[in-house]
Structure 1
Amino acid sequence: MSNSVISEIDRSGLCLGCGLCEAVLGKENCTMQLRDDGFFHPQFKRLDKKSERVINEICPSINVRNEYELKKDERIWGKIIQLYEGFSADQEVRAKSSSGGVVSALAIYLLEHKKVDAVLHVGGDADDYQQNKLRKSYDREDVIRNNSSRYAPALMFSDIFEILNQSDEIFCFIGKPCDIAALKNFLRVYPTYQDRFKLTISIVCAGMPSFNGTRKLISDFHPQVPIKNLSYRGNGWPGYFSFSDNSGKVYSKSYNDSWGKVLNRHLCFRCKICPEGIGLLADIAIGDAWETKNGYPDFTEKEGNSLVITRTAIGQQVVDELINDEAIFCKSLPVEKLRLMQPFQYRRRKYAGMRIIAAMIAKQFLFRFHNLYIYRNLEFKSPKRLMKEFLGTFKRAIKMA
């Protein structure tokens, strides 16, 4: 394997900017840099063969391994122990969160009941919206400060060794599905840290937009810089994109106008071929329990509801504890309801295999996506639709070459 393999991941638009390269090589040999395209990229100064092999093995862009072999009836949504719709009993948490506040409720409960020492999740910076990174939360105040969606890149793992080596703390880790995949890959190569993670929670994800999407939303208002207190969602459901400018004026756009018309047009190419955005590898996956109107999700503002999927015994145990203690209020749902609440994820899982095949041919890359059922899901699909998915992805991939 040559140096060009790692560099080609980045050049091909496959890099997720997670920061594992910087962590493995050290900041003296690799730094993550925000470039003009609005994404973080690794800048290599020195790359030895051993480190290159490690990066090639743990990079979540090309390695997603589900340890549980999916059965036929799990081919779309993965292993599900229980499916719920619910919300946090804490009204402040529910209101400030992206959906029903169950992610934050779980984090707060684990901390207050001493189940973990800290929660690792993405946090922003009120004074600089480009400073999304992995942060530690120790109490309810920390969790609320770092909660809500961030539809932009984040440096998840640049400082992972520093975080793990500065203490013996036990963590709950919260991230996107690709972040969970990255963590699992990391722990396979560095098993000494395996016992440091009590629980993993995945956010259901439709893709990571670049900072250029955020800048476009901001520029539409012609505000006075600097920009502060930027929020992508929250304070309602689905909530508003909002920020304040140097004069103190507050600007906002609806979810449909911000995500639906701007942000999702700036997605990372790797997100367009994502094998799963539903947290197959996590203990618990949580998203939006969208209500439907005329067969489509209804984005009318209302009180938030979270979609909760338990995938492992420990995940179910923790959710049961919160329900029993009335920290969250949940009702069980039939699995069939998922298709209505998350139609995008349903289509993505059905056709991801064809998009991945197109990307592998165009990029001459072999992805290591194991036990995800992505190719079996192509069985009995319309040849016309499959060809449309293939050509669309192939053209995008070639254009980026």
Structure 2
Amino acid sequence: MTARAPETIAQVVEHGLCIGCGLCQAMAPDRWQMRYTPQGRLRPAPISQGDDTDILAACPGAVAMANPDKTPETDSVWGNFHTVTRAWAGDPDVRFRGATGGVLTALGMYLLTSGQAKFVLHCTADPDHPMQSPWTISTTPDQVFKASGSRYGPSNTLAGLEIALARNEPFAVIAKPCDAGAIRALAQSDPRIDTLIVAVLVMVCGGASDLGKSRAVLNEFDIDEQDLTLFRYRGFGNPGPTRIETRDGRAVEKTYLDMWADETGWRIQSRCKICPDAIGEAADLAAADIWPGGSPTGEDAGFNGVITRTDQGQRLLDAALADGALKQDQTLTPRDMDDFQPHQVRKKHQVAARLRGLTAAGHPVFRHVGLRIDDLDTGNIAEEHGARERAAQGRFSEPFDFDSD
């Protein structure tokens, strides 16, 4: 059976292909606005009718693509790269507060202090709804620093992309790998992307949960979401605890392993389960957790695996190391990354089968370019049948419904 791509934004959402990146709102704010569903997912709510062909040409639910630049190194799993190194933020405070080694925070701050970028488009904790992670623009290193730490729920960073481009100033983006893929796809029709964006930086991603995961934690401690003043998912150590604070002075924490050890409770969104590029092949630079075996055994000082994907990314890494914004101590290999991120290796080999299963169930799927998904296909019949069965049960389907707020 031949795979077919979604033909409308509605099909992207209804067939579980939406990740809530916000690109449709950026490109057509008169037609789409990002809102939360009752399940705690960010999804585009229709405002008016119109032709969304231009959006679908870049939407991560309709297309996924690697950066097309040639590189000196390549690997069947980890793709094209210049170097892989173990690094961390040169500033101890940034290293402590940022997730893992604070590399992405340090680079965002460095791009501003060095004058290479006028601002950074990224996400931050919503001061009024601390579990949520809306897009923001930071124009100072301190703003980037205060937004440090991983956000494990939905984020709509690309909803701010058009506003960022309209400023007509050089800027950087810190986002998810799927967001980077959307940016690369959009660059094929919007020349402002390559002219104005000086760096696209991403984390190697284990998947984006919906807010149901966070709400379950609140229920565990009998805390009302409206009482929150802080919901910090990561940071203040590596891996750092999840910390919750309330208006009446309560404070509770969960260790990383207590928070994430039970994978059945992660509430990972459907698009993440078939993600063809969680390792940042569309970015200039990707930063990863690097725990041997794929899971932490305790707290440490914080180290990132840093993968440079483009000339631009390698130049940024070299400059940041030379100026002390980052530090490094050893070169890594793709086989090291296999050990640190075994779930990424499994997913790369399983995606083709899952997509076949969805296609057999009559679902549209995204097209993929330059990500070696077919080359890595192991013909896993169990994965194919599992995806087909889940689709038949409606587990890849979503309705259009939204919270009133």
Provide the TM-score with structure 2 as the length reference: 0.90
TM-fit CA distance, 1:212: 0.9
Change (3 A) 1:70 1:260: farther
Give secondary structure in 1 for the equivalent of 2:117: coil
Change (3 A) 1:135 1:320: same
TM-fit CA distance, 1:5: 3.1
Give, in whole Å, the separation in 2 of the partners of 1:154 and 1:252.
Answer: 23
The answer to whether the aligner puts 1:393 opposite 2:387 as a matched pair is yes
Worse-matched range after superposition: 28-37 or 67-76 = 67-76
Q: How many residues align?
A: 389
The aligned amino acid for 1:304 is G
Change (3 A) 1:3 1:175: closer
Alignment of 1:186-225 (within 5 A): 186-223=186-223, 225=226
Equivalent position to 2:318, from 317, 320, 323: 320
Tell me which residue corresponds to 1:42: 44
Tell me which residue corresponds to 1:110: 111
Alignment of 1:177-326 (within 5 A): 177-223=177-223, 225-261=226-262, 265-290=266-291, 292=292, 295-326=293-324
TM-fit CA distance, 1:366: 4.3
Equivalent position to 1:8, from 2, 5, 11: 11
Structure 1, unmatched stretches of 5+, are: none
The answer to whether the aligner puts 1:95 opposite 2:100 as a matched pair is no
TM-fit CA distance, 1:262: 6.3
Indicate conservation of the 8 Å contact 1:70/1:78, yes or no.
no
Indicate conservation of the 8 Å contact 1:83/1:310, yes or no.
yes
TM-fit CA distance, 1:68: 4.6
Q: Deviations over 1:320-378 (max 9, x none)?
A: 11222222211212332111111111111122111122122224314210111011112
The aligned amino acid for 1:93 is V
TM-fit CA distance, 1:76: 0.3
TM-fit CA distance, 1:152: 0.6
TM-fit CA distance, 1:78: 0.7
The aligned amino acid for 1:377 is L
Give secondary structure in 2 for the equivalent of 1:377: coil
Give, in whole Å, the separation in 2 of the partners of 1:155 and 1:186.
Answer: 16
Give, in whole Å, the separation in 2 of the partners of 1:79 and 1:351.
Answer: 20
Give, in whole Å, the separation in 1 of the partners of 2:239 and 2:109.
Answer: 22
Indicate conservation of the 8 Å contact 2:87/2:306, yes or no.
yes
Indicate conservation of the 8 Å contact 2:6/2:366, yes or no.
no
Give, in whole Å, the separation in 2 of the partners of 1:33 and 1:47.
Answer: 17
Give, in whole Å, the separation in 1 of the partners of 2:6 and 2:303.
Answer: 47
**Runs of 4+ in structure 1 displaced over 4 angstroms?**
1-4, 68-73
The aligned amino acid for 1:29 is R
Indicate conservation of the 8 Å contact 1:12/1:363, yes or no.
no
Give, in whole Å, the separation in 2 of the partners of 1:211 and 1:189.
Answer: 34
Give, in whole Å, the separation in 1 of the partners of 2:352 and 2:263.
Answer: 26
Q: Deviations over 1:171-218 (max 9, x none)?
A: 111111101011122222222343110111111001110011111111
Give secondary structure in 1 for the equivalent of 2:242: strand
Q: Deviations over 1:29-48 (max 9, x none)?
A: 32222111110122213222
Q: Deviations over 1:46-100 (max 9, x none)?
A: 2223xx2112212111211222589995220011211111211211101001100
Change (3 A) 1:2 1:332: closer
Identity percentage of aligned residues: 28
Indicate conservation of the 8 Å contact 1:68/1:371, yes or no.
no
CA RMSD of aligned residues (A): 2.3
The answer to whether the aligner puts 1:164 opposite 2:175 as a matched pair is no
Give secondary structure in 1 for the equivalent of 2:361: helix
Worse-matched range after superposition: 208-217 or 119-128 = 119-128
Give secondary structure in 2 for the equivalent of 1:318: helix
The answer to whether the aligner puts 1:340 opposite 2:339 as a matched pair is yes
The aligned amino acid for 2:302 is G
The aligned amino acid for 2:9 is I
Give secondary structure in 1 for the equivalent of 2:157: coil
Indicate conservation of the 8 Å contact 1:175/1:202, yes or no.
yes
TM-fit CA distance, 1:150: 0.7
Alignment of 1:69-80 (within 5 A): 74-80=75-81
The answer to whether the aligner puts 1:359 opposite 2:337 as a matched pair is no
Provide the TM-score with structure 1 as the length reference: 0.91
Give, in whole Å, the separation in 1 of the partners of 2:194 and 2:324.
Answer: 31
Give, in whole Å, the separation in 1 of the partners of 2:288 and 2:126.
Answer: 23
Alignment of 1:117-156 (within 5 A): 117-156=118-157
The aligned amino acid for 2:347 is R
TM-fit CA distance, 1:251: 0.8
Tell me which residue corresponds to 1:85: 86
TM-fit CA distance, 1:312: 1.2
Worse-matched range after superposition: 344-353 or 67-76 = 67-76
The aligned amino acid for 1:156 is T
Worse-matched range after superposition: 224-233 or 267-276 = 224-233
Give, in whole Å, the separation in 1 of the partners of 2:320 and 2:38.
Answer: 44
Worse-matched range after superposition: 147-156 or 355-364 = 355-364
**Structure with larger RCO (C-alpha < 8 A, sep 6+):** 2
Give, in whole Å, the separation in 2 of the partners of 1:119 and 1:269.
Answer: 28
Give secondary structure in 1 for the equivalent of 2:159: coil
Give, in whole Å, the separation in 2 of the partners of 1:285 and 1:2.
Answer: 28
TM-fit CA distance, 1:139: 2.1
The answer to whether the aligner puts 1:64 opposite 2:58 as a matched pair is no
Change (3 A) 1:305 1:209: same
Indicate conservation of the 8 Å contact 2:22/2:158, yes or no.
yes
Indicate conservation of the 8 Å contact 2:58/2:185, yes or no.
yes
The aligned amino acid for 1:346 is V
